[in-house]
A and B are shown apart, each in its own frame.
Chain A
Amino acid sequence: MSFLEELSTVDTENIARRIESASDAEVDRALSRERASVDDILALLSPAAARRLEDLAERSASLTRRRFGCTMTLYAPLYVSNECVNACVYCGFSRRLQIPRMTLDVDTVVREADVLRSQGFRHVLLVSGENPRSVDARYVEAVVRAVRSRFHSISIETAPFESHEYARIAKEGVDGLALYQETYLAQVYREVHPVGPKSRFDRRIEAIERGGEAGFRSLGIGALLGLSPFRVEMALLALHGRYLSRRFWKSRIAVSFPRIRPTPGGFSPPHPLDDRDLVQSVCAMRLALPDADLVLSTREPPHLRDGLMSLGITRMSAGSRTNPGGYASEHSRSGRQFAIEDDRSPAEIARVLSQKGLEPLWKDFDRSIHAPTSP
């Protein structure tokens, strides 16, 4: 059964009621369990658990240390294109916005990669908007071939591809796929994705399973926080993570927590989260998915990133530029996807991690593990 089929059996209103009505006793029980049940997850996301945030944070921190040790994996996003045929209302790349657009040629991507490598990065995430004419699977493969000798782990966050395309991309040496559903509530999804291929909820949610079949070692999921009431959204995201880890048992699940930031389009989120909500989301997700990588980008401000370092996050970006060409050329005029709140350099982030008793891991994989491919 696909997750889409599983999701169709979920009564979201019932989930919302159970979350809202969770009792202190249910929160207690959820906090004391070695493995969280679905009921426990709902309790951990409840307003009742919000009053126990310190206890939740303590459990999350200790589980994270036991499983991942005192470490934090660092990565950088490398934006290769901001061309996009979609008009997602929250996104700085929406086709309705008048911004300078570009898709980097392979040589320019290599220059960007060189900057990231010189900063210490060995893990990179290739990001693009959705434009089948400029960023197709062939382009992604060409980019990967050009930069793979510079990195040890390459992930992609692009528009969905077909199974055979994912298989080819994986074979070129990409080990991670990130594909965020943005929202698991179909009605909300339709409202914020009015046109373009991304407007099809089903097409998007099914794509990550094609990636799982292609053998990506890391499967990244996420919901864009602020589009809908976060408690239900986080519960559905946790269910998705559990589904994927059961079905693709050789892949690690990674969960991101992108909170909507101001964009050039001036979108303001209909259901904004405060910092406590975000911290509860991260910690509850840790208890729901003890072995998942929990990922935090530079969308969040320094004080919050520093706090979350110790609580459950295991993978962080640093020094990010969210416009194509933004690393090699400080004055690149291309439009960016969202505003960066934490503009500290990768070296500064590494220093902060060390001060907090966490070893920054620039390299946690080795490309030689892949089957040899022709150069």
Chain B
Amino acid sequence: MLPVVIAGVALRSRLFIGTGKFSSPAVMAQAVEASGSDLITVAIRRVDIDAPSDSTLSALDLSRLHLLPNTSGARDADEAIRLAKLARAACGTTWIKLEVTPDPNYLLPDPIETLRAAEQLVKLGFTVLPYMNADPVLAKHLTEAGCATVMPLAAPIGSNLGLRTRDQIGIIIEQASVPVVVDAGLGMPSHAAEAIELGADAVLVNTAIAIAHDPVTMARAFRFAVEAACLARDAGPGDRAVRARASSPLTGFLRDEGSA
């Protein structure tokens, strides 16, 4: 399996993990380990920079993992930029998962403010991975703004509904010139496999693992599903069709003509 390359960094696993919603930092760290993931995202608003050892960050093996701070909680571009700057100072990385979600209920990404923030953050030297609705035109705009990936949602955050935006994501993948990471709404390993089989470069999962009865086992299940889908893609799947062959072929007349 080839690694996914984001802004020049090769990541072996195509499963990224969100760290919110776990019952404890210890369980979160075990689940991350079991997932085989190389990249984890952390809400900077939850990190207590004044605390000598923030519980979320200190639970993780940051020598092995790529840390992707996110701006969740930001309602507009200005707030997201402030959080991104804080993340850079606190975590020592210029990578930022850009989340601008003005509506606290469905946490749907604001396309206008996300694009505005992305343009400015790129200028400020950040490597920007934007969370976005599954809008192919917006994906193009964000790519042109210099984003390192696009991260369209499968379904609203935390909904576990699966790949509801499948057709739109298919178009984004078809037209993509940066990696496409399907983010939010993947509720079961099969959903993650479906996204990878569709051609996504990676998936990001949080709720489905964090709130499972056994998060560590669920993390392993997602790992296997993503690996299986990657293998299947590499193996070159056969064409799929459910089609009966007509007993009187439509082009039968061509043969008739030839034999006449």
- Interchain CB contact under 8 A, B103 and A369: no
- Interchain CB contact under 8 A, B25 and A359: yes
- Interchain CB contact under 8 A, A70 and B45: no
Q: How far is the CB of B99 from chain A (nearest CB, A)?
A: 12
B48 at the interface (CB under 8 A from A): yes
Q: How large is the interface on A (under 10, 10 to 19, 20 to 34, 35 or more residues)?
A: 20 to 34
A68 at the interface (CB under 8 A from B): yes
- Interchain CB contact under 8 A, B45 and A365: yes
Taking CB atoms, residues of chain B closer than 8 Å to A252 are: 104-105
A348 to B89, CA, bound (A): 33
Interface residues of B in 32-85 (CB under 8 A from A): 44-48, 73-75, 78-79, 82-83
- Interchain CB contact under 8 A, A359 and B22: yes
- Our count of residue pairs bridging A and B at CB distance below 8 angstroms stands at 77
A66 at the interface (CB under 8 A from B): yes
Partner of A363, one of B23, B25, B48, B104: B48
Q: Which residue of B lies closest to A250 (CB)?
A: B102
- Interchain CB contact under 8 A, A354 and B24: yes
A354 to B22, CA, bound (A): 11
Taking CB atoms, residues of chain A closer than 8 Å to B83 are: 366, 368-369
User: Contacts A66-B158, A250-B102 given: A366-B73 contact, CB under 8 Å?
Assistant: yes
Taking CB atoms, residues of chain A closer than 8 Å to B86 are: 366, 368
Partner of A364, one of B46, B75, B78: B46
- Interchain CB contact under 8 A, B24 and A369: no
Interface residues of A in 47-94 (CB under 8 A from B): 65-71
A148 at the interface (CB under 8 A from B): no
B233 at the interface (CB under 8 A from A): no
Partner of B82, one of A290, A364, A368: A368
- Interchain CB contact under 8 A, B21 and A69: yes
A217 at the interface (CB under 8 A from B): yes
Partner of A369, one of B74, B102, B207: B74
Partner of A250, one of B20, B48, B75, B160: B75
B117 at the interface (CB under 8 A from A): no
* Highest count of chain B CB atoms <10 Å: which of A66, A362, A369: A369
A100 at the interface (CB under 8 A from B): no
A252 to B101, CA, bound (A): 12
Taking CB atoms, residues of chain A closer than 8 Å to B20 are: 69, 71
Q: How large is the interface on B (under 10, 10 to 19, 20 to 34, 35 or more residues)?
A: 20 to 34
A281 at the interface (CB under 8 A from B): no
User: Contacts A70-B22, A249-B102, A354-B24 given: A362-B48 contact, CB under 8 Å?
Assistant: yes
A165 to B85, CA, bound (A): 30
Taking CB atoms, residues of chain A closer than 8 Å to B75 are: 217, 250
A147 at the interface (CB under 8 A from B): no
Interface residues of B in 1-34 (CB under 8 A from A): 20-25
A318 to B159, CA, bound (A): 30
A171 to B82, CA, bound (A): 16
Taking CB atoms, residues of chain B closer than 8 Å to A158 are: none
A157 at the interface (CB under 8 A from B): no
B211 at the interface (CB under 8 A from A): yes
- Interchain CB contact under 8 A, A70 and B23: yes
Taking CB atoms, residues of chain A closer than 8 Å to B211 are: 65-66, 69-70
B192 at the interface (CB under 8 A from A): no
A371 at the interface (CB under 8 A from B): yes
A321 at the interface (CB under 8 A from B): no
Taking CB atoms, residues of chain B closer than 8 Å to A65 are: 211
- Give me 29 A-to-B residue pairs in the complex whose CB atoms sit less than 8 angstroms apart, sorted by A's number: A65-B211, A66-B158, A66-B159, A69-B22, A69-B158, A69-B211, A70-B210, A71-B21, A217-B75, A217-B104, A249-B102, A250-B102, A250-B104, A291-B105, A357-B24, A359-B22, A359-B23, A361-B46, A362-B48, A363-B45, A364-B45, A364-B46, A365-B73, A366-B44, A366-B47, A368-B83, A368-B86, A369-B45, A369-B73
B residues touching A (Cβ–Cβ < 8 Å)?
20-25, 44-48, 73-75, 78-79, 82-83, 86, 102-106, 158-160, 207, 210-211
